Amino acid sequence: MINLLFNTYPFYSFLIECGIMATALLSIPYFLYPKLVDLLHSLKKTRKYDSLTVESWPTVDIVFAAFNEEAVIKDKLKSIFALDYPRELLKVRVGSDCSTDSTDLLLTEFMKSDESIDFLRMKKRSGKSNIINQMVNRGDSEIIIGTDANIFFRPDALKELVTPLVLDSTIHLVGGNLVYRGMEHNSSEGVSKNEESYINWENNLKQKEGELWGCAMGVEGGCYAIRREAFMKIPKGTLMEDFFHTMNVLKSRKKVVHSNQAICTEDVSNNSSMEFKRKIRISQGNWQNLVRFSSMIFSHTFPSGLIFLGHKVLRWLFPIFFILGVLINLGLIIKDGDILIIVWSLAELMIIIFIILYPTEILPKFLSRQMKSISYFSWMNIALFLGLMRYIRTRETGIWQPTTRNNK
């Protein structure tokens, strides 16, 4: 029956074309598109934003949600109070999602001693997006800073975030540079180092997108600045509110940029299981936003639609393309056993085996070291696929559990 299908020429030709197309699409988001951005950026003189040229600073609300963050909440507030920014222009608004540890007690004590802190405990668990909406509505500042409880600011981070908004009225959203703290003391070759390398590569790409077109494709939820008039109410159950803001700003044809100088730090995590679950949740949010904003590929084709497609959408589709390519190769082997197809299929099979074995530490250390980057990339794409499955079958509430980290 299978041979009969493959001996039908139109069907066989269709499979060949699908295989070529899948391979080509796989190369775009991780090679061709980034190289094109690098080339165009090298040819264009871009504008730099210097905080020293700002004469007057706007009012700012730092907003975040907290759930059982007793391990980091003190240091979080200390990092805010250490910011090089006029204190009279700064307000901190924190919503607790019914924390069951000492988070609320600590926040209450801080609020008593500092009137710049606005703390509110939710009546019931309602999720991060709902909390952010409520806390934003309690203020009237010109600029809203989105962050997380475990993200600490460098002293100059706030000024670096706000500067592009002050100096360029067409910019409505600025993303910060989120880096891991404690890496210099971390000798592990675990997930955190692979994650750090990927984040650095991603941040550099977003920096160049912002400088070229004002279309940095995504900001970090733990470190971004948005004009109040650009802030849109986050729909219930939204998992990636940072990307929701990004796409809404681009939809309004305003600019989104990334600032590598606006440094915030996040504690190291080498718990691969927890990080994998976190990536599945991020992937679920990605698919959620793809459904919401896919029409922009056609309605806002250049530049934001094409950047969305090349930078994000094709990455999210990567695991589907890979599975399609494997199935097509298997079909072609069944059809005629071409030696090149057999070699390529065996290589795919070896990659899959390494992916499965790497986290178990069954492989020899030498092979393990060589394969760690491939394994990280592969598990990231497995998380993308599992996130799609979860998105299809789950109605999301937005209620979350913080990732366990080293808290250094």
What's the pLDDT tens digit per position in 345-399?
666 666 666 655 555 454 555 555 556 677 778 788 889 999 999 999 877 666 6
Taking the C-alpha atoms of residue 376 and residue 353, their distance in angstroms, rounded to an integer, is 14
Q: What is the pLDDT of residues 27-44, one digit of tens each?
A: 889 899 999 999 999 999
> pLDDT digit string (tens) for 259-274?
999 999 998 666 777 8
82-120, pLDDT tens digit by residue?
A: 999 999 999 999 999 999 999 999 999 999 989 999 999
What average pLDDT does range 162-180 have in this prediction? 96
Percent of the chain with pLDDT over 90: 61
Task: Read off the pLDDT of residues 231-251 as tens digits, 9 standing for 90 and up.
Answer: 999 998 899 999 999 999 999
Return d(Cα 191, Cα 373) in angstroms, integer.
Answer: 9
Backbone angles phi, psi at 309, to 5 degrees: -65, -50
46 vs 406, more confident: 46
111-137: average pLDDT: 94
Reduced to 3 states (helix: H, G, I; strand: E, B; else coil), residue 239 is coil
Q: What pTM value is reported for the model?
A: 0.87
Q: What is the pLDDT of residue 46?
A: 87
Between vectors from CA 127 to CA 142 and to CA 234, what angle results, nearest 5°? Answer: 45
pLDDT at position 12 is 52
Question: In which residue are the tokens 């990455």 written?
Answer: 315
DSSP per residue, 333-378: HHHH--HHHHHHHHHHHHHHHHHHHGGGT-S-HHHHHHHHHHHHHH
**pLDDT of 4-21, one tens digit each?**
444 544 555 555 566 566
Give the domains, in start order, of the chain with CATH numbers.
1-45+316-403 (no CATH), 51-270 (3.90.550.10)
* Residues forming a β-bridge with 257: 174
